[in-house]
């Protein structure tokens, strides 16, 4: 099982990666692809 399949099966909200191009199209499955920096902003951490 690859990372994308795992994210779909686990009903994840996010895939956190530096390679966003590898996960294009995840929005169709309700999964947002973000960088680690973007994710920290989402959860309210200050960088």
State how far the alpha carbon of 5 is from the alpha carbons of 2, 15, 27, 42, 44, in Å. 5, 11, 13, 23, 27
pLDDT at 4: 87
DSSP 1-45: --HHHHHHHTT-SEEE-S-GGGGTTGGGGT-EEE-HHHHHHHTT-
More confident residue, 30 or 47: 30
In a domain, 32, yes or no: yes
Statement: residue 10 has pLDDT above 70: yes
Distance CA 15, CA 20 (A): 9
Phi, psi of 13 (to 5 degrees): -90, -25
pLDDT in tens, 17-44: 999 999 988 999 999 999 999 999 999 9
> Residue 46's pLDDT band (boundaries 50, 70, 90)?
low
In a domain, 47, yes or no: no
Indicate the number of domains in the chain.
1
């Amino acid at each position: 099982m690859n990372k994308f399949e795992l994210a779909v099966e686990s009903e994840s909200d996010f895939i956190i990666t530096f390679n966003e191009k590898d996960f294009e199209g995840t929005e169709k499955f309700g999964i947002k692809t973000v960088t680690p920096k973007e994710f920290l902003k989402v959860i309210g951490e200050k960088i």
